[in-house]
Amino acid sequence: MNTDTPQARAPWINANLPADERAALLDAALTEDERYGLLHSQWAIGFLPGAPLPEGAIPAAGYVPPIPRLGIPGLYETDASLGVTNPRNARPGDTATALPSGLAMAATWDAGLAYSAGAMIGDEAAKKGFNVLLGGGMNLTRDPRCGRNFEYLGEDPLLAGVLSGEAIRGTQSQGIIATAKHFVLNDQETGRHVVNAIIDEAALRESDLLAFQIAIERGAPGAIMSAYNKINGHYACENDALLNGVLKGDWAYPGFVMADWGATTSVHAAASGLDQQSGEQLDHKVWFEAPLRESVAAGETPSERISDMARRILRSMFAAGLFDRPLPKGEPIDYAAHGRIAHQAAAEGIVLLKNDRNILPLTGGIKSIAVIGGYSDVGVLCGGGSSQVTTGKGHAAFIHAGGEGAMMAMASEAYHPSPPLAAIKRAATGARVTFVNGRYPSEAALIAAGVDLAIVFANQWTTEGADAPDLSLPNGQDALIAAVAAANPNTIVVLQTGGPVLMPWLADVAAVLEAWYPGSQGGEAIADILFGAACPAGRLPVTFPAAISQLPRPDLPGLGQPWQSPGGRRVDLSKAPGFDVPHTEGSDVGYRWYARTGQAPLFPFGYGLSYTDFGYSNFAVTGGETLTVTFDVTNTGALEGIDTPQVYLTSRNGAPLLRLLGWSRLKLKPGERASAKIIADPRLLADFDTAARRWQVPAGDYEIALARSAEDIVAKASAHIQAASINP
Ligand code: BGC
């Protein structure tokens, strides 16, 4: 037998072997230095003091150098969930397709679209030379003020888990690694490096952890990013119970856990389950080099852990195909096709919240329109921080936000070059369209009084690194809308917000569209909805509160304290003062909280109007091992449209509760009818039993509702379910 073949010298190149086996073979060939080299990534932005661009890196979030001796490719890591970013133009002139915000994607409730969008980002990332995408972001919206809600997928574990899993699967279909983040409970930005989320284990299993569990089952992400915050007293990056216990233990997750940038707080993280330190220049120390070697030598970190860490990283690289297929780096990107995906997601994610007198869609006969505010003459808003994508020929406007701390010093309110004004002018044939910048309510009201119709664009910019201190529209825009509405009864409000906002003027306006941050093609998508080229299909993935007092924590914990915009760079976080945030709502996140407390929100989860109507028939439910729900949907209106009927569990053995069990998404022509079938994931029927470490489904009568939203129930039915005990 010839022992000097490439295969004999490097048996891990055999693509027919399982990824785990290849990783073990390759790990055995590593020197100790090479092995440690895999365990920490460098911050590769390249423009900040003390962090020059590492040799060989592509300017972006992270870089692990290759090991040419063994043919191990480097890791080239880029943000993130909404498109490939180019922070501070670190790669001069390199732009990308910007999806609408995560909440817009979640508002489509469209798993197939999430997959296409994930594949789109994966394609652009790979062609730009990246093999690790630091998306999907999927923290549950527990507080509507969280500055990063726009990056995530709403408040429900099933909806967020399914869409995130599909986005991840899409990204990885392009032969690169995707990253589910931020594990877990990174649900406020205020004090994010020091905040300690306190929650009962069962509640966490039934909410945020369930979202990750579903996403991991569907998407098999190569990496999980552990969060900045603490959970029950332990930093996410050194949380043995969550990393070793739940993720790698109960769920047998085979990939690697990477830290968030500046989130590795000590060498204990390795023994606690963290496999890779990230952005090492940002941490107090390069923990996973000399300090880790010393810890192993001292017997504090088990020596086997080092190989386990390396094997997990290599395993994900093998599983993604990084050793078997060259990256399509430099190949042309089909931006036109990608723009169509962004356009579709934006249009289908827009939620029509109000439409009095069926003022929308706008049809002929309108002679004059005033378009007011929101920089709608130049573009559409995008959220700030590491997820901010630069699209087209670059930002249409870039407004320095200001503020203290590393994040706020860099943050900018940016606009994608897709001006709604231009799209409205194209669609409003025959009408005179005037633009008013909206700085002065008096001026806007004066102009609005003289036209047939006023469209006010109102924006709430949010960003990583800071929360919205309240739910008002900033810079006097609530007063602007009120003034315009008082001057013209035909006032339509288009919101571009990071998440829910209050609407003190709601009763006085004719229509409201929630357009979120609508991405590369946002201006066109908004015009499509306004003028009826597309029928509104979005359904809220988050509850819109009627008042801040309705929230589980009306006072945002830590707001106004010096840690509001923490630096993190080289800071010894073990010495930083922190604060606890008791999550008393437990697993009753969002709509479940409103149901539990009997409060009526402004707009419920799942809500959204259409230009057509849908009727339901043949509703039936069967029990047994789980609930199976069937029904028919008919488009009873005059336009083609998409309906998203939802099924909720409303009581179990007479005890009320509210849990989304599933949904159907049907595109129907007028008069067309289709059948839907939803089979509930039994974990959604269960409670998590911490003592037994299992999901327990109690036997009994389960009442379910077919509904248009968490509050608008069409029909109810019951079925008997058998007791079951399910693996954690
Ligand atoms: C964010 C992550 C991001 C990382 C790298 C951090 O500030 O929390 O979501 O992936 O930076 O840019």
The string of DSSP letters for 717-728 reads EEEEE--EEE--
- Same domain, yes or no: 366 and 280: no
Q: Integer distance in angstroms from the first to the last C-alpha of the chain?
A: 48
Return the residue whose CA atom lies nearest to atom 5 of ligand 1. Answer: 61
Burial 43-71 (b: 16+ CB within 10 A, else e): bbbbeeeebebbeebbbbbbbbbebeebe
- Same domain, yes or no: 469 and 365: yes
Return the residue whose CA atom lies nearest to atom 4 of ligand 1. Answer: 261
Q: Ligand 1 centroid to 335 CA: how many Å?
A: 25
- Structural domain total, the chain: 3
**Final residue before a domain boundary, out of 496, 514, 531:** 531
Q: Which domain holds residue 526?
A: 348-531
Residue 582 lies in a domain: no
Q: Tell me, what CATH number does 354's domain have?
A: 3.40.50.1700
| Substitution candidate for ligand 1 out of 42, 79, 181, 278 with most atoms within 8 A of CB | 79
Residue 589 lies in a domain: no
Say what percent of the chain tops pLDDT 90.
93
- Same domain, yes or no: 375 and 433: yes
- Could you give the C-alpha distances from 531 to 367, 378, 637, 641, in angstroms and in order? 14, 20, 17, 14
Return the residue whose CA atom lies nearest to atom 6 of ligand 1. Answer: 261
Q: Ligand 1 centroid to 109 CA: how many Å?
A: 25
Of ligand 1's atoms, which has the minimum distance to the CA of residue 186? 8
516-575 tens-digit pLDDT = 999 999 999 999 999 999 999 999 999 999 999 999 999 999 998 765 444 445 667 777
Task: Please check the confidence at residue 180 and state whether its pLDDT lies above 70.
Answer: yes
d(CA 458, CA 509): 13
Average pLDDT score over residue span 576-589? 94
Average pLDDT score over residue span 195-216? 98
Q: Taking each helix axis from N to C terminus, what angle separates 303-320 and 19-29, rounded to the nearest 10 degrees?
A: 130
For residues 140 and 133, is the Cβ–Cβ distance under 8 A? no
362-399 tens-digit pLDDT = 988 899 999 999 999 999 999 999 999 999 999 999 99
| Substitution candidate for ligand 1 out of 76, 408, 464 with most atoms within 8 A of CB | 464
- What are the backbone dihedrals phi and psi of residue 432, each rounded to the nearest 5 degrees, phi first? -85, 125
Of ligand 1's atoms, which has the minimum distance to the CA of residue 77? 5
Of ligand 1's atoms, which has the minimum distance to the CA of residue 80? 10
d(CA 505, CA 362): 21
Q: Ligand 1 centroid to 483 CA: how many Å?
A: 40
Ordered DSSP codes for 689-717: ETTTTEEEE--EEEEEEEESSSS-EEEEE
d(CA 30, CA 12): 12
**Final residue before a domain boundary, out of 498, 531, 564:** 531
Average pLDDT score over residue span 185-203? 96
d(CA 705, CA 231): 34
Q: Please give the DSSP secondary-structure letter assigned to residue 356.
A: G
What per-residue confidence (pLDDT) applies to 566? 44
Residue scoring higher pLDDT (401 or 163): 163
Task: Please check the confidence at residue 480 and state whether its pLDDT lies above 70.
Answer: yes
Of ligand 1's atoms, which has the minimum distance to the CA of residue 182? 9
28-58 tens-digit pLDDT = 999 999 999 999 999 999 877 777 899 999 9
Residue 555 lies in a domain: no
d(CA 55, CA 172): 27
Task: Please check the confidence at residue 2 and state whether its pLDDT lies above 70.
Answer: no
**Final residue before a domain boundary, out of 303, 320, 337:** 320
Q: Ligand 1 centroid to 181 CA: how many Å?
A: 9
247-259 tens-digit pLDDT = 999 999 999 999 9
Q: Which two tokens stand for residue 76?
A: 């080239």
For residues 216 and 181, is the Cβ–Cβ distance under 8 A? no
Return the residue whose CA atom lies nearest to atom 2 of ligand 1. Answer: 260
One-letter identity of residue 506: L
- Same domain, yes or no: 266 and 302: yes
Q: Ligand 1 centroid to 600 CA: how many Å?
A: 35
d(CA 503, CA 509): 10
- Same domain, yes or no: 354 and 313: no
- Same domain, yes or no: 359 and 312: no
What per-residue confidence (pLDDT) applies to 233? 96
Return the residue whose CA atom lies nearest to atom 11 of ligand 1. Answer: 261
At residue 299, the 3 state secondary structure works out as coil
- Same domain, yes or no: 402 and 298: no
Residue 27 lies in a domain: no
Residue 47 lies in a domain: yes
Q: Which two tokens stand for residue 524?
A: 């066109």
Burial 213-247 (b: 16+ CB within 10 A, else e): bbbbebbbbbbbbbbbbbbbebbbbbbebbbbbbb
Tell me the residue length of the chain.
Answer: 728
- Same domain, yes or no: 287 and 163: yes
Radius of gyration of the chain (CA): 25
Alpha-carbon dihedral 633, 543, 477, 406, rounded to 10 degrees: -130
At residue 624, the 3 state secondary structure works out as strand
Task: Please check the confidence at residue 576 and state whether its pLDDT lies above 80.
Answer: no
Report the candidate in 166, 590, 179, 156 with the shortest Cα–Cα distance to residue 386. Answer: 179
Say what percent of the chain tops pLDDT 70.
98
Of ligand 1's atoms, which has the minimum distance to the CA of residue 181? 9
- Same domain, yes or no: 239 and 376: no
pTM higher than the cut 0.85:
yes
For residues 243 and 530, is the Cβ–Cβ distance under 8 A? no
- Same domain, yes or no: 361 and 263: no
For residues 295 and 328, is the Cβ–Cβ distance under 8 A? no
For tokens 């923990």, the residue is 287
Q: Tell me, what CATH number does 115's domain have?
A: 3.20.20.300
- Enumerate the active-site residues: 260
What per-residue confidence (pLDDT) applies to 565? 43
Of ligand 1's atoms, which has the minimum distance to the CA of residue 465? 7
Residue 439 lies in a domain: yes
Report the candidate in 642, 647, 624 with the shortest Cα–Cα distance to residue 537. Answer: 642
Of ligand 1's atoms, which has the minimum distance to the CA of residue 137? 9
85-98 tens-digit pLDDT = 999 999 999 999 99
Give 14's Cβ-side CA count (13 Å radius). Answer: 15
Q: Ligand 1 centroid to 436 CA: how many Å?
A: 37
At residue 384, the 3 state secondary structure works out as strand
For tokens 């496999």, the residue is 275
d(CA 52, CA 46): 5
Using alpha carbons only, give the angle 686, 725, 606 rounded to the nearest 5 degrees: 20
Alpha-carbon dihedral 526, 529, 531, 532, rounded to 10 degrees: 160
Q: Tell me, what CATH number does 662's domain have?
A: 2.60.40.10
Within 6 A (CB) of ligand 1 lie 61, 79-80, 134, 181, 260-261, 386
Task: Please check the confidence at residue 118 and state whether its pLDDT lies above 50.
Answer: yes
d(CA 218, CA 167): 10
Average pLDDT score over residue span 231-246? 97
Residue 494 lies in a domain: yes
| Substitution candidate for ligand 1 out of 195, 228, 261, 280 with most atoms within 8 A of CB | 261
148-179 tens-digit pLDDT = 999 999 999 999 999 999 999 999 999 999 99
d(CA 410, CA 88): 9
Residue 455 lies in a domain: yes
Q: Ligand 1 centroid to 276 CA: how many Å?
A: 14
d(CA 642, CA 608): 11
- Same domain, yes or no: 261 and 140: yes
Q: Ligand 1 centroid to 287 CA: how many Å?
A: 19
Report the candidate in 555, 615, 551, 627 with the shortest Cα–Cα distance to residue 589. Answer: 551
What per-residue confidence (pLDDT) applies to 5? 84
User: If you average pLDDT over every residue of the chain, what do you get?
Assistant: 96
Q: Ligand 1 centroid to 260 CA: how many Å?
A: 6
- Same domain, yes or no: 486 and 634: no
258-278 tens-digit pLDDT = 999 999 999 999 999 999 999
Q: Which two tokens stand for residue 2?
A: 């010839």
